[in-house]
Structure 1
Amino acid sequence: MKLRSIASLIVSALLTGAALAPINSAQAQSTSTLEEVKVRGVLRAGVRQDVLGFGIVDEKGKIVGFDVDLVGELAKRLKVRLELVPVTATTRIPLLQQGRVDLIAATLTYYRQRDDVIDFSIGYFAAGQRLMVKKTSPIRTISDTAKKRVGTTIGAGVVENLKKAQPEATVQTFEGYPEAFLAMQRGLVDAIVADAIILAGLRANTANPEDYVIIGTSLNRSNYSIGVRENDSKWRDAVNYTLQDIWRDGTWDQIYDRWIGSGSKIKLSKDEIGFAMDLWE
């Protein structure tokens, strides 16, 4: 009798656990990052610190740039404090998946493969991938990179785009864009490929910007988006609506002029980057 009672208790416990497991799982999934951010009172944003104009360390040791100001506005409008977490092209998505950041605003372009593991906001900045070479280089088109060495960053989707456009190019990857640019300056690679705005930033930050030219037609037509964790539509909607408000009230223009446009070192017009305002409607 005693053995039967113990067996009954064990079976009952197992059945209860099995019944509760789906409920707990559903409860965990129902908690949006939006609630977590508001309860915490802090928005943890993953940003680059190696891309002039978007995220770079200034002389005071602070990370500044377009993406930093953009997430600053998001935090301000959500009425929470902003915490910046430095990321690279390699670490940004894993850090988001691991829950160490709430979003990534880090020159992140949409690719179908990436959409399998994270979700994306609406586009907030037009980004087309092109080549940059020394002014004295014979390379003038993507086709000219056949049997040439082309540098870019680890984890950049541009690698696949370049391979499709010119399969005979040899791609060499580096930890960041500054390292790739330095390799080109030293003759270790013949060209570098990246988003046009990133190339313009690298060039603007050199002692002799006129020594480098951005060439070729764009390898793609994409936009920078904010990355959020999968299956959290409440958080993604909150980010999207706030981005639209930032655009409509003129704040986006102010941030653009400060870091990319006439008031910046890069000095690129909206026409040059091909920004599509219909993305915000």
Structure 2
Amino acid sequence: MRKLSLISFGIAVSALFGTQLARADQLADIKQKGTLVCGTLGNAEPFSFPNPQTRETQGYDVDFCGAIAKALGVKLELKLISVAARIPELMQGRVDVLAANLGWTPERAQQIAYSDSYFVSNQMVTARRADKYKTPADLSGKRVAAPKGSTSEAGARKYIPNVTTVTFQDAPALFVALQQGKVDGVVLSELTLVKWKHDAENSPVPIDILQPPLFVEPWGIGMRKEETALIKQVNDVLSGMEKSGEAKKIFDKYLGTGTTYNLQRTFRIEPIKG
């Protein structure tokens, strides 16, 4: 009986370590299957959004996913997901990596691994011009919307006194809610709000972006914590993109001079300091 118990124990230990090794070798699995599955939002211009002509998903996040897949020598497969589903999809193994407006927070960093920061986002508040709000603090006690499960939602509750948060699944729904007067303001990435402001300028309901920024957040590529080989590989790719100038080219393509946003790149790819 004792011998049998020891054998059973050995089998259990082997199975446990075998499972851990398998989980920790996702990089090899990706290369073997020949595909990198990247979770992205698909409705967050300029990061991931449908091309008006082809309807294929394109954008800043998509190009970074493509660069990682190319460096790994595999094909890119995009999986469109909601804000709230980002971490569950990753943890359940339905995507290999996340490039989905994924702002760093201490709480998320306990669940998943972040790559080095490949984008830095000002989180801003927008409101209808007719309401004459000037600063985020002017929305104290008001109804402010944000994507469900996002850092924008958490930031609204943290930085706007006595706010009532209202959540929606995606950015277009937030824009409609603001224009229809269902909420008093919206918290989102500055870039999305710049595009909104441009689009709404000649509409019956123009909007303004309130100053100063509500908070600033670094974005990283999300991965599972145990995938050490994949994490290193992704960071090596990002570092190479910074050195070669490819990262800046992607920024300029979607956000730089001549685009709707007309921004200058003021950050570099570097480790996120928690």
Q: Describe the superposition over 1:221-257 as per-residue Cα deviations: whole angstroms up to 9, x where unpaired.
A: 2211000001222111110110111111111122112
Change (3 A) 1:207 1:14: farther
Partner of 1:123: 117
Q: Which moved more, 1:258-267 or 1:109-118?
A: 258-267
The one of 90, 93, 99 aligned to 2:87: 93
Runs of 4+ in 1 over 3 A off after TM superposition: 11-15, 201-210
TM-score (norm 2): 0.91
* Equivalent runs, 1:5-154 vs 2, <5 Å: 8=1, 12-31=3-22, 32-59=25-52, 60-154=54-148
Q: For 2:18 and 2:153, how far apart are their aligned partners in 1?
A: 40
The one of 232, 255, 259 aligned to 1:264: 259
Rg larger for:
1
Partner of 1:175: 169
One-letter amino acid matched to 1:49: G
The Cα shift of 1:12 comes to: 4.5
Q: For 1:265 and 1:74, how far apart are their aligned partners in 2?
A: 26
The Cα shift of 1:116 comes to: 1.6
Q: Which moved more, 1:224-233 or 1:205-214?
A: 205-214
Q: Which moved more, 1:100-109 or 1:49-58?
A: 49-58
SS at match of 2:62: helix
One-letter amino acid matched to 2:216: R
* Equivalent runs, 1:168-247 vs 2, <5 Å: 168-206=162-200, 208=202, 211-247=206-242
* Superposition RMSD in Å: 2.0
Aligned residues: 268
The Cα shift of 1:216 comes to: 2.2
TM-score (norm 1): 0.89
SS at match of 2:213: coil
Q: For 2:130 and 2:193, how far apart are their aligned partners in 1?
A: 17
- Is the Cα contact below 8 Å between 1:247 and 1:253 reproduced in 2? yes
Query: What are the ranges of 5 or more consecutive residues in structure 2 without an aligned counterpart?
Result: none
The Cα shift of 1:206 comes to: 4.5
Q: Describe the superposition over 1:25-59 as per-residue Cα deviations: whole angstroms up to 9, x where unpaired.
A: 22222232211111111000001111110001223
Q: For 2:125 and 2:209, how far apart are their aligned partners in 1?
A: 6
The Cα shift of 1:137 comes to: 2.3
One-letter amino acid matched to 1:40: K
- Is the Cα contact below 8 Å between 1:244 and 1:280 reproduced in 2? no
- Is the Cα contact below 8 Å between 2:117 and 2:269 reproduced in 1? no
Q: For 1:205 and 1:81, how far apart are their aligned partners in 2?
A: 35
SS at match of 2:145: strand
Change (3 A) 1:61 1:14: farther
- Is the Cα contact below 8 Å between 1:151 and 1:173 reproduced in 2? yes
